[in-house]
Amino acid sequence: MSVTKELFLTLPDGTPVHRYTLEKGGVSLSVLDRGSTLQRVAVPGPEGKPVEVLVNYDDPAAYLACPDYLGVFVGRVANRIAKGRFTLDGKDYQLACNNGENHLHGGVEGFNTRVFRLVRAEDDLLELGLTSPDGDQGYPGKLELTVRWKLLEDGFSLEWEAEADKASPAAFTCHAYWNLAGKDAGPEAVMAHRLRLFAGRYTPVDETLIPTGELAAVENTPFDFTEPHAIGERIGQNCPQLAIAGGYDHNFALDAAPGSDGLRPLAEVTSPATGVTMTVETTLPGVQFYSGNFMQGHAKRSGFCLEPQTFPDAVNQPAFGQDVILRPGEVRRDAIRWRFHL
């Protein structure tokens, strides 16, 4: 088995963007070096026919703006930081704000806009690297990042590790949008997906989608996916939290402790249309479940996201108990694993 490489598009400054494709056991995975972007996923469907389950753009040029962060690797910090501000070791920092008054997904020029360098491409593995300079989007310290995409017999995994020469917040994720009925099956198919989240609590948000600091039980709310429910089953209920986000766009706290491999169960989701089931595991403590309420490049709710993460605004909310600060001499390692079956 080998990794294939092709020119995907050329940036306005002349920089080439390449697509790398890995195939194994009926699973096909394509990744762009710009943003370490997950660009295509196909898995075995009914009667052995492949189903493209990752929502993507048909036009390569659409990845230049990519307003929905479609499939991108997010950094230096995933999700929102309130007003783009934090204090670290007695010093105040102001980050680039790109989501109203807040900092979102690494800022105006987050990692999704960077072309990663190729480190390795062999057999079932693609390894990419990125250097984020001191002061990048307002963050302190130079950060060295390595990401590894690995193909499995029934899915794939993403692992990353980061080091910094100054103390800095560092918390990453993959912002993939899924539709297990087929990438173009549309919103009705997404709303029919049956989702189970291994999470008994979630973090309610304010009007700007910053967590209020509360860790609320999902029981007796539309946020209870501890047993499988259709995504669209309760999305229209009269619920202040759903109204704020236009649907689901909330962080859930995962219940399980990590297993011997460091991973904990995150979700299981099935498309009734194809019978394809996706399971997700991660080393991270939370997941942002986003029902695609504000998609710009596709119809509203044409895909859903399950973004493994540390909690949003954790750098300003110590009560969450999550240390997102990466210090010199430390290595930040995390992983996500996706598996598919009928």
Give the number of domains in the chain: 1
Q: Which residues are catalytic?
A: 175, 307
- Average the pLDDT over 304-317 and give the result: 99
Q: Is 176 annotated as a binding-site member?
A: yes
Q: How confident is the model at residue 227 (pLDDT cuts 50, 70, 90)?
A: very high
* 1, pLDDT greater than 80: no
C-alpha separations of 181 from 42, 103, 195, 250, 275 in Å = 11, 33, 14, 23, 8
Q: Is 177 annotated as a binding-site member?
A: yes
Element (H, E) at 147: strand 143-152
For the chain, percent of residues with pLDDT exceeding 90: 98
Residue 236 confidence (pLDDT): 97
Q: Is 79 annotated as a binding-site member?
A: yes
- Average the pLDDT over 11-37 and give the result: 97
Average pLDDT, the chain: 98
Element (H, E) at 266: strand 264-270
Task: Output the six-digit token pair for 186.
Answer: 């549309």
Residue 128 confidence (pLDDT): 99
pLDDT digit string (tens) for 140-167?
Answer: 999 999 999 999 999 999 999 999 999 9
Q: Is 251 annotated as a binding-site member?
A: no
| Residue 229 burial (10 A CB sphere; 0-12, 13-18, 19+) | middle
pLDDT digit string (tens) for 254-266?
Answer: 999 999 999 999 9
Residue 25 confidence (pLDDT): 86
Residue 157 confidence (pLDDT): 99
Residue 243 confidence (pLDDT): 98
Task: Output the six-digit token pair for 270.
Answer: 């099935």
Residue 2 confidence (pLDDT): 75
**Range of the structural domain that residue 163 is part of:** 4-341
* 78, pLDDT greater than 80: yes
Rounded CA-CA distance 251/214 in Å is 11
Number of other residues whose CB lies within 10 A of the CB of residue 204 = 17
pLDDT digit string (tens) for 151-209?
Answer: 999 999 999 999 999 999 999 999 999 999 999 999 999 999 999 999 999 999 999 99
pLDDT digit string (tens) for 319-342?
Answer: 999 989 999 999 999 999 999 999
In angstroms and rounded to an integer, the radius of gyration of the C-alpha atoms of the chain is: 19
Q: Answer for the pair 153, 340: CB distance below 8 angstroms, yes or no.
A: no
Q: Answer for the pair 306, 177: CB distance below 8 angstroms, yes or no.
A: no
- Average the pLDDT over 66-75 and give the result: 97
Q: The whole model's pTM is what? A: 0.97
- Report the number of secondary-structure helices (H) and strands (E) in the chain: 2, 28
Give the pairing type, strands 264-270 and 216-217: unpaired
Q: Is 248 annotated as a binding-site member?
A: no
Number of other residues whose CB lies within 10 A of the CB of residue 64 = 14
Which CATH number characterizes residue 43's domain?
2.70.98.10
Residue 255 confidence (pLDDT): 98
